[in-house]
Amino acid sequence: MTTATADTPAPTPATVAWLADRWRRLDHPALLTWVVAASLTIAVAAFLAVTPLWLPETVWYRRYSDTYPASHAPDPQRWFGLVATCAGLLGVAAVAVAPRLPWLAWLAATVPFVLLPVYGTALASSWLALASVAVVVATRRPRVAILPWTTAVALVLGWHVGGHDLLFPHGPGGPSSGTSGLLAGLGIAAYTTGAVAFAALLGHVLRTSAARTRDAESVAHDAVATTASVTERARLARELHDVVAHHVSLVAVRAESAPYSVPDLDPRAAATFAHIAEDARTALVELRHVLAVLRRDDDVPLAPLPTADPDALVSTAREAGQEVTVEGTWPRTDAGVGHVLHRAVQEGLSNARRHAPGARVHVRIADGPGVVGFRMTNGAGDATDVRPAHGLTGMSERVEALGGTVSAQVEDGTFVLVVSLPVDEP
């Protein structure tokens, strides 16, 4: 007898997992810019290092070397090596600072071309540095790269059209003349344009990918937060069920069994116990609805909202000894508006019983075109202002969710609660 076991992938080594996480957290667009900048800086520096800057024959004034020895060369020729070295190093520095200071990099890469009117020649490494600045800047800020790119293209075309010398690693070199020189300049300009465009495209792709990654991480974070919230609601629902529902059910059982436990119980007291039992059972039903909302389980059966009946609430309040008068008739509404209106009336009557026991409650029903609601008043005692607690806050959230308004304030020693809900006209 043989048993087959599913192949499980080997766990990822901790070092590999750490490296993968660090790579995922890197800013890839910025990394691209710095890698390109470092590579081109090294390339320009190497190009400059192999360029002969201190040999007299490398200068446009090289004809003087036939007459004067190197030690007696004219001043422009004698100082060319030092000036050219500084100019070349300035181009290298320009490429290095291009990621952070693109405008300064462009200026620093352009300055070395003052060698052209002074000595009649310029360094090829200086032009390479200017083109490199354009490529580096294009990876992060393509629009800013237009300026160094334009300058580099203009210089290479002017070099071929004007017939100026450039100093290469192999020595001075002049452009081809005529049509072939112009075509060569256009070819170099095309290569430069392609490099800048490719750098800009690659940077755009990485920035877009990074933005999508951030969005995905944000969605994942929201999902984790939502899961935690649902888990907490489920835990709260279980605790409410275990504690509150248990005690409320005990109240109902004891109220129902009171007439049997006390045979000589007064009929009015028996009726009161019956009302207590009925209220407890109603509270259990509504508590189960609240728990179902908190838990949001897939196996919770769907059921309609509790019947909206403000008149029944008023009748129950009167039977409990609360003096309530109603002016008007409750209109017919849809289930959603009716349920919110039912809850608002229930909370208003409960607030009056808690904060103004024995006070007379007057309810005036508001039923106009496109609106339904009520105005409930009762004595406020010594209170001068209203501090909304959980009841009023929950009422406001329900009403405002349907586009309605809630106003609660104390006017001349009277607590005034005004609730207004919009309804669709038939």
Per-residue model confidence (pLDDT) at position 426: 56
Residue 273 is assigned to a structural domain of this protein = no
Sign of CA dihedral 229, 230, 235, 239: positive
Query: Can you say whether the dihedral through the CA atoms of 357, 359, 360, 362 is positive or negative?
Result: negative
For residue 131, pLDDT over 90 is answered with yes
| Lowest model confidence (mean pLDDT) among 38-47, 242-251, 362-371, 398-407 | 242-251
Q: Among 11-15, 330-334, 346-350, 382-386, where is mean pLDDT lowest?
A: 382-386
- Residues 155 and 113: beta-carbon distance below 8 Å: yes
Alpha-carbon distances of 195 from 149, 156, 179, 191, 376, rounded to whole Å: 10, 15, 24, 6, 76
Does the structure show a pLDDT above 80 at 94?
yes
Token output for 31: 């990394």
The CA distance from 276 to 282, in Å, is 10
Q: Using the structure block, give the residue that is written with the tokens 């207590």.
A: 276
Residue 214 CB neighbours (<10 A): 10
Q: CB-based burial of residue 202 (10 Å sphere; 0-12 exposed, 13-18 middle, 19+ buried)? A: middle
pLDDT for res 1: 42
Mean pLDDT of 217-231: 78
Answer yes or no: is 404 within a domain. yes
Residue 155 maps to a domain: yes
- Whole-number Å distance between alpha carbons of 259 and 280: 16
For residue 119, being part of any structural domain is answered with: yes
| 66 domain residue, yes or no | yes
Does a structural domain hold residue 210?
no
- pLDDT given for residue 20 in this prediction: 66
How distant is the alpha carbon of residue 73 from its chain centre? Answer: 67
Domain assignment present for 147: yes
For the chain, what is the domain count? 2
Query: Does pLDDT of 89 surpass 50?
Result: yes
**pLDDT of 107 above 90:** yes
Residue 380 lies in domain: 322-422
| H helix runs in 356-389, sequence order | none
Q: Which CATH number goes with the domain that contains 329?
A: 3.30.565.10
How many whole angstroms separate alpha carbon 85 and alpha carbon 82? 5
pLDDT band at 72 (very low <50, low <70, confident <90, very high): very low
- Of 50, 73, 75, the residue nearest 63 (C-alpha): 73
Assess whether pLDDT exceeds 50 at residue 375: yes
Amino acid letter for position 295: R
Average pLDDT, integer, range 357-383: 84
Residue 209: both structure tokens together: 């990918």
How far, in Å, CA of 288 to CA of 243, rounded?
Answer: 13
- Reduced to 3 states (helix: H, G, I; strand: E, B; else coil), residue 407 is strand
Start-to-end CA distance of the chain, whole Å, equals 76
d(CA 291, CA 301): 12
Last residue of a domain, one of 156, 175, 194: 175
Query: Measured between alpha carbons, how far is 45 from 262 in angstroms, rounded to an integer?
Result: 105
Contact between residue 145 and residue 196 where contact means Cβ atoms under 8 Å apart = yes
Angle subtended by helix axes 75-97 and 102-110, to nearest 10: 160
Nearest to 150 by CA among 161, 163, 137, 162: 137
Of 143, 175, 207, at which residue does a domain stop? 175
The domain boundary residue, chosen from 145, 175, 205: 175
| Residues 6+ positions from 331 with CB-CB distance below 8 Å | 365, 367, 372, 423
**Taking a C-beta distance cutoff of 8 angstroms, is the pair 410, 359 a contact?**
no
401 vs 133: which has the higher pLDDT: 133
pLDDT category at 146 given cuts 50, 70, 90 is very high
Task: Examine residue 215 and state whether it is found in any structural domain, yes or no.
Answer: no
Measured N-to-C along each axis, helices 102-110 and 146-162 cross at an angle, to the nearest 10 degrees, of: 10
Q: Is the pLDDT of residue 279 over 70?
A: yes
Question: What is the spatial distance between Cα 88 and Cα 97, in angstroms, rounded to a whole number?
Answer: 15
Instruction: Dig out the tokens for 42 from the structure.
Output: 């090294």
Mean pLDDT rounded to a whole number for the chain: 78
What is the model's pLDDT at position 70?
Answer: 46
What is the mean predicted confidence (pLDDT) over 159-184? 70
Q: pTM for the full model?
A: 0.51
